[in-house]
Structure 1
Amino acid sequence: MILLGCVLLIAVPLPFAGDSTPATMDPQSGWIQLFDGKSLFGWTSGGGGQWRVVNGSITADSGESGYLRTNTVFADFILRCDFRLNAEGESGILLRSDTKGDPAASGYKLQINNRDASFPTGSLVGYLKAAKRQAAPGAWHTYEVEVTGDHFLIKLDGTPTADGNAHKNRLGAIALQFVKGNPVEFRNIQLKPLGLQLIFNGQNLFGWKIVIPTGEKAQQRGKIGTMLLGQSGPDWTVEDGAIHVKKGPSQLENGSLYDDFILQLAIRANGKGRHPQGGVLFRGDQGVFSTGYRVQIDNTFPGKDRDKPANFGSGGLFGIQPARRVVSDDDQYFYETLIVRGHHISVWVDGIPVSDFEDTRPDGPDALLQSRNGAGTISLLSADDHSSLNFREIRAIGLSRAGVTAGTPAPEAIPGGAGAGPHQKEIADLIDRAVHSNDPQEQVTLYSQILELDPNNLVAYNGRKDAQDKLDALQARLSQQQQMQQQEQTQSQQSEAAERDAVQRAETAFLAYDIRGARSHLNVAKKIDPNDPEVQQLDALIARQETLWLVEIVAAMAFGVLVVLGLVMLFLRRRGPKQPYLEILDGPEKGERYLLNQEVIHLGAVAQEGGNHNEMVISDPLRSVSPFHCEVRQHEGKLYVLDCDSANGTFLNGRRIHPRQPVLLKKGARLRLAEGCTLRLVFSPMKKN
């Protein structure tokens, strides 16, 4: 999807100088509008300047110098913006600026000033100088800037003007500058967040768990009995690469914790005469139903007035603030972007801004009544029995609260493809055709074409390998079927002769009172043709004689059978089930064992901090173990270890594991937490009460 998003970016036409046509936008690739073309929703002005919307453009032409700044901050992104100066004046676009104070002092300035010889239009002031290029006054021009870490790639009217590094903020707001006496206009302000990673692998629910109401919440919905018994509870499955849920109430909780983050996903409410309700929950409590903030899924509105959501509306903050407009419809996928930073929450639906909320309430545990500012879970919510929802293409990235370095991305579930290149659109089209094809031969051909264009494309390499394996298996089955048909013709003739011979031998043995021999020969005939009347008649005679023989020996065997059963039961009782433990091998707690009796066991240097806690606290005189160092998870009867972005690493059998990637634990595995202590996975019989 990352590759496809980049391809669609290039496919979108850009308005060059003199072009008055508004730019198009592709929300499926992650693009959002910072300016909706009608209002200053999501922006805050500062300093001087009279900012207003005129003919679909943001205009400032009077007053003292000032700025207009987004309420939302961004880390890595691609930004597009049209601008027009009515004279040889001065303006600018400020990138990654602080949300307080003058953005010109804290952010990077994308220059709009032909008179500045040191940093003309197309430059990043103070860092990257553009080659001399005049942006004609009175005409529309388009800036496109890609910001990744410290790297900036700047284009003016489609032509690169600057490419290099600048070391300052890694995160901040976007601001438009007005310089007194220099009228300026901006329009088509669009942004695509970068760096998001898939947190749903499109194949199964690994890394997610179902949470249902308990206690009062379940009783209020009248569902606790049926859900706990599994009679008519929620049904979470993966179908055609999407998470599908029927019924409710319940939620599907991701195993990672996020405080500040960007989340993008595709959602479909399956109507069928009803309007399903659901939501995306964030900053929730682990394993607890319906906590934290809820971004609503509800496409209802009165009559034809989409500006009046009936139940907060899709993209609204349930119980707090309705969406400003219902953009989405039932039975169609819509693409939602959620950006959370501190107390500020922004939501886009199909690229259109629908929610912009600064939570000024006192901090507390109930997001309906108070502000929740700590880390928590991200969950998909099915609100009631009538819910039928699909979720797919779920991506996320964490944002740093320090604002100096970009946040650590969420665990990657599916390997990505190759980066940018001259054949991106062609590659994306080929990948799309290959993914939707059910013919392995066609898939091999399509993926081979991609590898000719981009030999390093990992998606195509793995796709072709899988398709070739399927094709080889299919060809092997066809060849085997042909051989079997030939063999069946030969075997049919041989079988008739073998059956006659077996029946004759069985009759001879039966007349000689050799019951075992008769049964042995008859079994050969039965395998060949069990419906032969002669075989069935002889089988009945032999069976009658076998019954008499069995009656005679049953009594003698009964005692032996009882003895054997008693010994088996005694062995099973003594053996008993075994439970997993983590045994400490060194340090002050050497020899201590911790029972792994929960789905997730958190290990770290502290018992509790903020809203998080560790079930297993590690004594660490050297202070090398992080407060929340790692986790041990149980999934489908197996144990996995997951490093939680620890400072000094988690080592399995002497090798450091990658952060946020689960690794299988086996019996006897040695787990070392930084330089703090070493643990070993052991299994011991379950203790009797």
Structure 2
Amino acid sequence: MTKGIPLISPEQPSSPPAHPTSQSHPVVRYRVTERNRRIAPRRSNSPLEPAMNSLTHIPRYLVAAVVAVGLLGTGDRAAGQDPSAPLSVLAVDSPIGVSRGLSPDEIRAGWIALFDGATLFGWRNEGDADFRVEEGAIRADRGSAPCLLRTETQFDDYELTVDFRATRTTNSGLFLRTAPRPNDPTGDCFEINIATAEVSPFTTGSAVGRQKTDMAVDAEQWHRLHARATGGMIEVSVDGVPTVRLVDSLPVGRGHIGLQYNQGTIEFRNVFLRPLDLETIPIEIGEGAWRIGPDSDALHVGPAESVDTADGESPAGVRLSGGVGYIESSRTFGDFVLRIEARTGDAGTNSGLFFRCIPGSDLDGYESQIEHRLVDGDRSKPVDFGTGGIFRRAAARQVVSDDRTWFVKTIVVEGNRIAVWVDGHQVVDWADDRKPDPNPRRGARREAGSLALQLHDADTSVEFRHLMARELEARRR
């Protein structure tokens, strides 16, 4: 995993300056009812059980947050998720409201950052609210309500955490699977409200128009919202306390993540997402699997470095060396989410992951490059297009990984939009606005295509492992 590359730019402090109402460990006060008393139970076989029993010095609200927010994947780990991926504990080792990056364990578990702590890269303002970045937080306090700051990329099934701070007069919310400009919180999005009872009958943690909660949280304090969206199920908790559980008989499919401004002042930090239900894609040469191109003698394909998993088995992976060529999948993907780990064997190695390729062609597809060389040692100036960059189309905004070190690449492709994260950092957000063409080398291809893993130079090597992917759900409403 990448080390030493901050999520926040060098100009932006990793921890915000002191604020009159900020706390490193905010005290969360809330009314306990029979409904919101249902804090997720600890499992007796949880790998965190010893740690939980030792947390006597930590306030109980944080222990609750460990259970409901921090156990990212334990027990209910989505089918297809890597069972060896370490658990991610966000609540104990990350004070609520303090800007942070993702840890190596969280990156390997599949988490990505939607907000880089310094810019609004990857977001679009739908309205005139004054969304901006101040002291490592997204902030808004003026605008013609309602306004939405939403991701350029759409997601379908995922876990999401976000820290927020509101005032007593704030009316805001977190929008899940939203249309770009939603019109109906019961139809084209899920709106998780952020408001006091003085402002709205749907208080913080409620699903507007769908389900209320009688939980009350302190204004002027930082809080953490966790949401899980799988199929027609939406589950929400605030500071570890469950507030909403919805079953939608007509799910909307994929949609954007939205941060709303309606009135008052609202701030957001630490916006992290993990795609769920990815399927392990074995990388194996053979009929009905992967082929070597341009011919079977083009390069040597061997096993990647093995990694011990929870059940003692090693995940499938490959090492490409001894030639110039690629391996191509027999399976095709159109609109999809994909995650893979890769490592170059030598400094200056040139490689890439191709997608939406014309099946059977000689790499006629889009290429997400693997290239770690820098201009004058500046990570914001990649040689060529940089690791994660789309070759000849969109350069990586920063090279965050290094040669000879395993890194995680996450790609979301939907319609003409391509987004790429490397070790949890978003490095590409690009829309292919060229004229449609079956060949991505000439124009915008939206048809499904094969995947390919490339080795560009004969005297180098590259390894790939833990390839996981699935098609995105179509937008329905």
Band the TM-score falls in, shorter-chain normalisation:
0.7 to 0.9
Match of 1:629 in 2: none
Instruction: State the TM-score, normalizing by the size of structure 2.
Output: 0.75
Is the 8 Å Cα contact of residues 45 and 68 (structure 1) preserved in structure 2?
A: yes
Separation of aligned partners in 1, 2:222 and 2:184:
24
Query: Structure 1 residues 6 and 92, CA, compared in 2 at 3 Å: closer, same or farther?
Result: farther
* 2:158 aligned with 1:110: no
* 2:140 aligned with 1:60: yes
Deviation at 1:119, TM superposition (A): 2.3
Structure of greater relative contact order (alpha carbons < 8 Å, 6+ residues apart): 2
Deviation at 1:261, TM superposition (A): 0.4
Query: Structure 1 residues 3 and 296, CA, compared in 2 at 3 Å: closer, same or farther?
Result: closer
Query: Structure 1 residues 16 and 205, CA, compared in 2 at 3 Å: closer, same or farther?
Result: farther
Separation of aligned partners in 2, 1:129 and 1:205:
54
Separation of aligned partners in 2, 1:75 and 1:199:
20
Q: How does 1:136-535 map to 2 (within 5 A)?
A: 136-166=218-248, 167-180=250-263, 182-200=264-282, 207-213=288-294, 230=297, 233-239=298-304, 240=306, 241-271=316-346, 274-401=347-474, 403-404=475-476
1:396 counterpart letter in structure 2:
A
Query: Structure 1 residues 328 and 345, CA, compared in 2 at 3 Å: closer, same or farther?
Result: same
Query: Structure 1 residues 151 and 14, CA, compared in 2 at 3 Å: closer, same or farther?
Result: farther
Separation of aligned partners in 2, 1:270 and 1:15:
34
Separation of aligned partners in 2, 1:266 and 1:175:
29
Q: Structure 1 stretch 8-17 or stretch 325-334: which is displaced more?
A: 8-17
Query: The residue matched to 2:87 in structure 1 has which SS?
Result: helix
Separation of aligned partners in 2, 1:87 and 1:11:
27
Query: The residue matched to 1:373 in structure 2 has which SS?
Result: coil
Deviation at 1:313, TM superposition (A): 0.2
Deviation at 1:286, TM superposition (A): 1.3
Deviation string for 1:441-464 (max 9, x for gaps)? xxxxxxxxxxxxxxxxxxxxxxxx
Query: The residue matched to 1:143 in structure 2 has which SS?
Result: strand
1:317 counterpart letter in structure 2:
I
Separation of aligned partners in 2, 1:117 and 1:209:
55
Q: How does 1:32-43 map to 2 (within 5 A)?
A: 32-43=112-123
Separation of aligned partners in 2, 1:45 and 1:196:
30
Deviation at 1:102, TM superposition (A): 5.2
Query: The residue matched to 2:337 in structure 1 has which SS?
Result: strand
* 2:129 aligned with 1:49: yes
Structure 1 unpaired stretches of 5+ = 214-226, 406-689
Deviation at 1:33, TM superposition (A): 0.5
Deviation at 1:36, TM superposition (A): 0.5
Query: The residue matched to 2:151 in structure 1 has which SS?
Result: strand
Query: Structure 1 residues 164 and 106, CA, compared in 2 at 3 Å: closer, same or farther?
Result: closer
Match of 1:8 in 2: 87
Query: The residue matched to 2:88 in structure 1 has which SS?
Result: helix
Q: How does 1:522-601 map to 2 (within 5 A)?
A: none
Query: Structure 1 residues 23 and 318, CA, compared in 2 at 3 Å: closer, same or farther?
Result: closer
Query: Structure 1 residues 129 and 204, CA, compared in 2 at 3 Å: closer, same or farther?
Result: farther
Match of 1:124 in 2: 207
Separation of aligned partners in 2, 1:64 and 1:117:
18
Query: Structure 1 residues 103 and 74, CA, compared in 2 at 3 Å: closer, same or farther?
Result: farther
Deviation at 1:345, TM superposition (A): 0.3
Query: Structure 1 residues 362 and 21, CA, compared in 2 at 3 Å: closer, same or farther?
Result: closer
Deviation at 1:127, TM superposition (A): 2.1
Deviation at 1:87, TM superposition (A): 3.0
Deviation at 1:59, TM superposition (A): 0.8
Deviation string for 1:362-416 (max 9, x for gaps)? 0113323311111110111111213310000100010134x139xxxxxxxxxxx
Query: Structure 1 residues 323 and 108, CA, compared in 2 at 3 Å: closer, same or farther?
Result: same
Is the 8 Å Cα contact of residues 102 and 113 (structure 2) preserved in structure 1?
A: no
Query: The residue matched to 2:445 in structure 1 has which SS?
Result: coil
Is the 8 Å Cα contact of residues 13 and 24 (structure 1) preserved in structure 2?
A: no
Aligned residues: 382
Deviation string for 1:268-309 (max 9, x for gaps)? 0111xx311111111101121111100001011022200001
- Cα RMSD over matched residues? 2.3
Query: Structure 1 residues 100 and 206, CA, compared in 2 at 3 Å: closer, same or farther?
Result: farther
Deviation at 1:120, TM superposition (A): 1.5
Query: Structure 1 residues 39 and 198, CA, compared in 2 at 3 Å: closer, same or farther?
Result: same
2:100 to 22, 33, 36: 22
2:320 counterpart letter in structure 1:
V
Query: The residue matched to 1:145 in structure 2 has which SS?
Result: strand
Q: Which has more radius of gyration?
A: 1
Query: The residue matched to 1:306 in structure 2 has which SS?
Result: strand
Structure 2 unpaired stretches of 5+ = 1-79, 307-315
Deviation string for 1:196-221 (max 9, x for gaps)? 000116x77675333423xxxxxxxx
Deviation at 1:99, TM superposition (A): 3.2
Deviation at 1:34, TM superposition (A): 0.4
Query: The residue matched to 1:308 in structure 2 has which SS?
Result: strand
User: Greater share of helix residues, 1 or 2?
Assistant: 1
Is the 8 Å Cα contact of residues 252 and 381 (structure 1) preserved in structure 2?
A: yes
Query: The residue matched to 1:8 in structure 2 has which SS?
Result: coil
Is the 8 Å Cα contact of residues 191 and 208 (structure 2) preserved in structure 1?
A: yes
Q: Structure 1 stretch 94-103 or stretch 239-248: which is displaced more?
A: 94-103
Is the 8 Å Cα contact of residues 85 and 108 (structure 2) preserved in structure 1?
A: no
Is the 8 Å Cα contact of residues 73 and 173 (structure 1) preserved in structure 2?
A: yes
Separation of aligned partners in 1, 2:278 and 2:232:
17
1:69 to 140, 150, 159: 150
Separation of aligned partners in 2, 1:63 and 1:81:
22
Deviation at 1:161, TM superposition (A): 1.6
1:28 counterpart letter in structure 2:
R
Deviation string for 1:112-171 (max 9, x for gaps)? 0122564211111222322x2222111111000111111112110112122231343121
Deviation at 1:16, TM superposition (A): 6.2
Deviation at 1:98, TM superposition (A): 1.6
Query: The residue matched to 1:27 in structure 2 has which SS?
Result: helix
Separation of aligned partners in 1, 2:135 and 2:398:
21
1:264 counterpart letter in structure 2:
R
Deviation at 1:51, TM superposition (A): 1.1
Is the 8 Å Cα contact of residues 312 and 321 (structure 1) preserved in structure 2?
A: yes
Separation of aligned partners in 1, 2:231 and 2:84:
19
Separation of aligned partners in 2, 1:310 and 1:192:
30
Deviation string for 1:611-648 (max 9, x for gaps)? xxxxxxxxxxxxxxxxxxxxxxxxxxxxxxxxxxxxxx
Deviation at 1:46, TM superposition (A): 1.1
Match of 1:537 in 2: none
Query: The residue matched to 1:384 in structure 2 has which SS?
Result: coil
Separation of aligned partners in 2, 1:14 and 1:118:
34
Separation of aligned partners in 2, 1:103 and 1:211:
50
Is the 8 Å Cα contact of residues 14 and 158 (structure 1) preserved in structure 2?
A: no
Separation of aligned partners in 2, 1:3 and 1:393:
8
Deviation at 1:100, TM superposition (A): 5.0
